[in-house]
Structure 1
Amino acid sequence: MENPSQVNPQDDAPDIGALIASRICHDLIGPVGAIVNGMELLELAGGTSGPEQELIAQSAASASARLRFFRIAFGAAGDQAIGGTDIAILLEEVGRDGRMQVVWTPEGAQPRNLVKLAFLALLCCETALPRGGRAHVIEEDGAWVVTASGEPVTVDPALWAWLEGASRAAALIPARVQFALLPQAATQMGRRLGGEHDAQGLTLRF
């Protein structure tokens, strides 16, 4: 893949799909969050605690974290910033029940559209780590690098071809839509996607 560099961004047009994703996630986060808060209130009030209640609380918390993650990854993105602490906390919450643990190193608030690219890159890397692994997100002088490693590393060439821009022939299932969205979002932002993979891990740059 080519090394990432600045390219001319495409003219912005309303992204109906992203707006729909934002709306769905927004409308679901509230009720799921209410379940989490309700379980916490029951515990504080001395309500009966057991494995069933713990399962409900853990499942609701996991769903809430995933919805907030998906809202950023698949939803509409602008130039507004997201706090670095908020990002790190969200990734920690997602990682509690996920296969991949993420280390977020960019300091301070970051533009939402760049966080979106990083989250999409993480989702792409996750598909190559069936037994889980560890990922790092690094930003230096405006260049972003997402690395991931684990055992085994199983890369689907047909999916990676979407990131390389070499082929659009392979059909994508909904669970792999990030492979189409990442290069599209990067181009819209005027950034060129680059990366490589081997038996030890994967790297994506933008």
Structure 2
Amino acid sequence: MTDSNPTDLAAMLCSRLCHDMLSPVGALSNGLELLAMETDPEMRKSVMELLEQSATISTNKLKFFRLAFGAAGGFGDRVDVAEPRSLIEALAGDNDKIQINWAIETANLSKPSVKVLLNFAQIAIDALVRGGTLDVGAEVRDGNCEIVVRATGPKIAFDETIGKAIEGSLPSSELSSRTAAAHMIALLAEESGGGLQYARTDEALVLGAVLPEPEGLIG
């Protein structure tokens, strides 16, 4: 694993968060300006609907990033799988061309496993630029959490530098806001004694992880 400056990594993660939040928050600002000028009842109703949609997207993204990037202080040592599942469904909800299949064989996961699962899902969703299928699987056995996220579709858009970050082979000088999340979960995996890997073809992207589960906390 290449060395990285924690301050630089934090800055890049913040840049990624700001980039993803700019669109829905900007839509809220524009909608409020339109609402202040619009007098037609039907138009005001349409603007209100757009505001509600933008507010929902903003809230969902903040909840996602809180658990995917942050300390997630509102949760215990383990997180009910319903939480990451709802966050992934909300994240993919912006694209009605993505179908999600679930195969999670455990009731809860450790925070590091949840972070890997969420970031894998985000990478896979970003890869499905023309829609497709997102398969999300996780199970705990023999003291390890095994995670697999697969994106299949007519076109897979995947930056190989993200793949290098996942494998831990990307030089710190090449880190960017685009690769920071992948680098972060690679560090998490290394610190826990686990590992990440990926495989890509023209029609599919498969992301996999094996992470040791803390003793006495497996649920």
Return the TM-score normalized by structure 2: 0.65
SS at match of 2:133: strand
Deviation at 1:193, TM superposition (A): 1.0
Deviation at 1:101, TM superposition (A): 4.7
List gaps (5 residues or longer) in structure 2: 1-5, 29-41, 210-219
Is contact 2:168-2:183 (8 Å) kept? no
1:180 to 183, 187, 195: 183
User: Is 1:53–2:56 an aligned residue pair?
Assistant: no
Deviation at 1:133, TM superposition (A): 3.1
Aligned partners of 1:155 and 1:52: how far apart in 2? 35
Aligned partners of 1:124 and 1:89: how far apart in 2? 17
2:92 to 90, 95, 114: 95
Aligned partners of 2:101 and 2:173: how far apart in 1? 32
Pairing 1:1-206 to 2, within 5 Å after superposition: 17=10, 50-76=45-71, 80-98=77-95, 100-106=98-104, 107-140=106-139, 141=141, 142-168=145-171, 171-206=174-209
2:158 partner amino acid:
V
Is contact 2:162-2:178 (8 Å) kept? no
Following superposition, which runs of at least 4 residues in structure 1 exceed 4 angstroms of deviation? 98-101
Aligned partners of 2:84 and 2:125: how far apart in 1? 18
Higher RCO (Cα < 8 Å, 6 or more apart): 1
- 1:43-62 CA-to-partner distances (Å, cap 9, x unmatched) read xxxxx971111111111111
Is contact 1:101-1:135 (8 Å) kept? yes
How many residue pairs were aligned? 171
- 1:14-47 CA-to-partner distances (Å, cap 9, x unmatched) read xx949x97xx99xx9xxx9xx9xxxxxxxxxxxx
Aligned partners of 1:197 and 1:125: how far apart in 2? 11
Return the TM-score normalized by structure 1: 0.68
Deviation at 1:180, TM superposition (A): 1.5
SS at match of 1:173: coil
Is contact 1:145-1:203 (8 Å) kept? yes
- 1:56-93 CA-to-partner distances (Å, cap 9, x unmatched) read 11111111111111111111268622222233223222
Q: How has the CA–CA distance of structure 1 residues 104 and 81 changed in structure 2, closer, same or farther, with 3 Å as cutoff?
A: farther
Deviation at 1:100, TM superposition (A): 4.8
Identity of aligned residues (%): 26
List gaps (5 residues or longer) in structure 1: 1-12, 36-47
Is contact 2:101-2:135 (8 Å) kept? yes
